[in-house]
Chain A
């Protein structure tokens, strides 16, 4: 097979496999739909240029996440993006959620955006990409034990926020 065709095929497979999760991840770390889209496009542009350096297909997911995180760091150095109203970008099928569930979901979303990055980052890597604790440790350059602690605390903080805001019922102030 022509090497260019093969290269394009490999790239398309990566895009199909990971673009959705990368967009979700980008959206949750930057909170801005336009910037998230831009980050993902930028990630794949760099991936396309460096595709020949990806020898192990199994490492593709972590490789793409690393590229995106670096690009986000570069962007964030330049400016702090304004947060987007999540309702503008989330396609919600409210028929599947009862009003209470919908409220909980919104509270959780706000809680995720409010999380300190040191808690949010490992949580997203686990919940969005299905990374194991060992993989998260490698991605973030911290120990597995630290990852476990941060994941536990991230969930505890979200649960506390859910209970606190759920009691006060101030969901209308969120967006």
Chain B
């Protein structure tokens, strides 16, 4: 049975490129059908024009650069510098961690920062390349977007209460602040921890958490949105 005009309009309104024989037969069955099909094609051309957006010129190059990152399943990542850093920092961290236990995230943050926070912040003088940052964060199934990556002046692996994490120093207009990224540690979002002359704001992330640490004159809340939005975590699950 041939379709009526209402059915035909709905069909070409839903699928203007429909070229099946029945639709074509209906189209050519009368001037009214033909006009409706022509009208649908004109609208489709306008829709295509409206949808046409050029991507940023550097997008493709940036995407292709992703393939330079190590794949998690492999064991042989030929990154001598990263490996050296891992061994040195990991060994130091292991010694430190073996001599410390933490009964809470709060005590971990205070203890960790007291151990090397100030020294590390003082040594962080130059901004790092995206590659240096991704070498560390990729191992933690994380990534820093430009908004955060552009501020990072130091990054290394560090122990956390629940395994390996990252210790970062970031530049702000109030001076350097420190971020501990704890991939497997749960915190109370928004809790402020005070110790010595410092304070640390605990922030939950998609996966794990972070502590944003500054001296008590610094507004650590100012980094919350950047950390939440730009520290992409839990990247293994597709």
**Chain A contact residues, CB within 8 Å of chain B:** 7-8, 11-12, 15-16, 19-20, 23-24, 27-28, 33, 37-38, 40-42, 44-50, 52-53, 67, 70, 74, 78-79, 86, 89-91, 97, 101, 104-105, 108-109, 112, 124, 126-128, 133, 147-149, 151-152, 155-156, 158-159
Contacts and interface: CB of A to CB of B under 8 A. Distances in A.
A3 to B, nearest CB: 11
A15 B63 contact: yes
Given A23-B59, A108-B50, A155 B235 contact: no
A20 B55 contact: yes
B234 to A, nearest CB: 9
Interface centre among B59, B64, B71 (most CB of A within 10 A): B59
A153 B48 CA distance: 17
B72 A49 contact: yes
B45 to A, nearest CB: 10
B55 A112 contact: no
A159 B206 CA distance: 40
The 10 closest A-B pairs by CB, nearest first: A108-B50, A23-B55, A151-B14, A152-B13, A91-B54, A148-B14, A152-B14, A50-B238, A15-B63, A46-B238
A52 B64 CA distance: 17
A45 B13 contact: no
Nearest to B70: A49
A88 B53 CA distance: 11
Nearest to B9: A152
Interface in B33-50: 43-44, 46-50
Interface string B54-90: 1110011011101101011100000000000000000
A78 B229 contact: yes
Interface residues of B, number: 38
Interface residue SS majority, chain A: helix
Given A38-B145, A108-B46, A149-B14, A45 B56 contact: no
Given A46-B235, A105-B49, A11 B66 contact: yes
B59 A127 contact: no
Given A49-B71, A148-B14, 10 more contacts: A11-B66, A41-B62, A45-B143, A46-B235, A49-B235, A90-B52, A90-B53, A108-B50, A109-B50, A149-B14
A74 B14 CA distance: 30
B232 interface: yes
B95 interface: no
Interface residue SS majority, chain B: helix
Contacts of B206: 74, 78
A14 B52 CA distance: 20
B228 interface: yes
Nearest to B48: A127
Interface in B195-238: 206, 228-229, 232, 235-236, 238
B32 interface: no
A158 to B, nearest CB: 7
B53 A27 contact: yes
A40 B235 CA distance: 14
A41 B10 contact: no
Contacts of B73: 52
A24 B47 CA distance: 13
Given A28-B51, A149-B14, A152-B10, A45 B66 contact: yes
B15 interface: yes
Contacts of A108: 46-47, 49-50
A11 B229 CA distance: 26
B230 to A, nearest CB: 9
B46 A104 contact: yes
A12 B47 contact: no
Contact of B60 (A19, A109, A155): A19
Contact of A48 (B10, B53, B56, B66): B66
13 contacts: A24-B55, A38-B145, A48-B71, A49-B71, A49-B238, A50-B238, A78-B206, A89-B54, A91-B54, A124-B51, A148-B11, A155-B13, A155-B43
